[in-house]
């Protein structure tokens, strides 16, 4: 769940007099989830939004790596002994995660939990690990250590100590599930975000400002008071990942919390990655993966994902400045400034 760099997801267009939005919020998954609805809809829309947020709380119980009784933690504790049956929708999410692991050549990996712990980021107390500890953690990393049996809907882990951590895809998945609740209740126009870094928009704002969907701001990775630009989202999602505000310094060097599971060390190729994709789970996961991969690998990856657009932001020539790299259709989507 790329919570580190936030997208300015509250609708950012100037709202005309007499027009406003309904906003409902819920604390879950260590962040705030918010649903925005057009104010002129029936009261049943707000009820559906509450039901969607209730579902987020249920999903947190299933997916959280911080709750020992969550389904994900129980799988990690028992699935190395024998295959364990997995709830259907979670099984589908695991299948997607393994597919993305293959397609990104390991840049996205849901078994990277031991690395997060050895670097201290799991407890938000960053530290440079001893080399022997890093080697031990790396021995437990690799989604090739996960075996899924689609016929029996089971999961088997190759060895004890392999962990499942859906932190880089879970919030996006929760937004996709929220959308299902809203659409099933005949709510067509809404924007949802989780921690502001994962955003899903459907339909339009019916306030006369724009018919292009919902305007979302993409922030500057070094200056939270500024933004790189805006995009309009309609029936699609956006995810942003970066490490500028979750990092620590050691002996004058900065270490960010987004780790490259292939090397076991913090990724350093860009400052932030923003992804527009058809689903929030995909946007969430690929924001992290593209941050890890950097420009060249991301460009090659997109040859097989033409429906995805990516904005990468890197350090500029001057101190405090940045440079942008737009891939896919991002140059047509992003309004700079």
Least confident of 28-42, 61-75, 85-99, 265-279: 28-42
Q: At 101, which CATH number?
A: 1.10.3980.10
Number of domains in the chain: 1
| Residue 266 included in any domain | no
Task: Give the N- to C-terminal CA distance of the chain in Å, as an integer.
Answer: 26
Question: Token pair of 26, please?
Answer: 């819920």
| Residue 295 included in any domain | no
Least confident of 89-103, 125-139, 206-220, 252-266: 206-220
Examine the pLDDT at 5 and tell me if it is beyond 60.
Answer: no
| 168 in a labelled binding site | yes
CA distance 215 to 201: 9
| Residue 253 included in any domain | no
* Share above pLDDT 90 across residues of the chain, in percent, rounded to a whole number: 80
Q: Following DSSP, what letter does each residue of 271-282 receive, concatenated?
A: SEEEEEESSHHH
Partner residues linked to 310 by β-bridges:
275, 327
Report how far Cα 42 is from the mean position of its chain's Cα atoms: 31
For residue 304, CA distances in Å to 113, 271, 300, 307 come to 28, 24, 8, 9
Report how far Cα 117 is from the mean position of its chain's Cα atoms: 19
| Residue 99 included in any domain | yes
| Max mean pLDDT range (3-12, 266-275, 328-337) | 266-275
The number of residues making up the chain comes to 337
- 148-185 pLDDT tens trace: 999 999 999 999 999 999 999 999 999 999 999 999 99
| Residue 25 included in any domain | no
- 100-125 pLDDT tens trace: 999 999 999 999 999 999 999 998 89
| 288 in a labelled binding site | yes
| Residue 78 included in any domain | yes
Range of the domain at 99: 64-157
| Residue 327 included in any domain | no
* Three-state DSSP state, 75: helix
Helix segments in the chain, DSSP class H: 43-63, 71-78, 88-103, 113-118, 131-138, 170-184, 280-301, 330-333
| Residue 108 included in any domain | yes
């Amino acid at each position: 769940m790329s919570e580190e760099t936030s997208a300015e997801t509250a609708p950012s267009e100037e709202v005309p007099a007499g027009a406003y939005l309904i906003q409902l919020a819920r604390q879950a998954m260590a962040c705030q989830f918010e649903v925005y609805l057009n104010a002129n809809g029936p009261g049943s829309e707000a009820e559906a939004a509450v039901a969607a947020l209730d579902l987020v709380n249920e999903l947190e119980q299933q997916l959280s790596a911080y709750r020992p009784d969550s389904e994900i933690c129980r799988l990690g504790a028992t699935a190395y002994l024998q295959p364990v049956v997995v709830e259907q929708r979670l099984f589908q999410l695991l299948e997607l995660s393994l597919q993305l692991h293959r397609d990104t050549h390991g840049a996205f990996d849901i078994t990277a939990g031991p690395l997060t712990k050895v670097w201290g980021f799991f407890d938000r107390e960053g530290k440079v690990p001893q080399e022997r500890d890093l080697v031990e953690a790396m021995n437990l990393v690799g989604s090739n250590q996960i075996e899924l049996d689609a016929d029996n809907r089971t999961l088997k882990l190759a060895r004890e100590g392999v962990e499942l951590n859906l932190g880089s895809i879970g919030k996006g998945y929760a937004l996709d599930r929220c959308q299902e609740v809203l659409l099933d209740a005949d709510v067509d126009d809404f924007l949802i975000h989780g921690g502001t870094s994962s955003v899903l928009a459907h339909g339009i704002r019916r306030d006369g400002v724009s018919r292009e969907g919902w305007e979302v701001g993409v922030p500057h990775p070094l200056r939270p008071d500024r933004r790189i630009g805006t995009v309009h989202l309609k029936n699609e999602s956006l995810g942003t990942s970066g490490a500028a505000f979750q990092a620590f310094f050691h002996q004058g060097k900065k270490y960010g919390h987004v780790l490259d599971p292939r090397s076991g060390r913090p990724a350093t190729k860009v400052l932030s990655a923003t992804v527009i994709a058809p689903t929030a789970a995909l946007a969430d996961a690929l924001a992290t993966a593209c941050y890890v991969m950097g420009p060249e690998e991301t460009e090659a990856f997109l040859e097989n994902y033409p429906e995805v657009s990516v904005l990468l932001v890197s350090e500029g020539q001057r101190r405090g400045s940045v440079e942008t790299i737009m891939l896919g259709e991002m140059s047509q989507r992003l309004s700079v400034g």
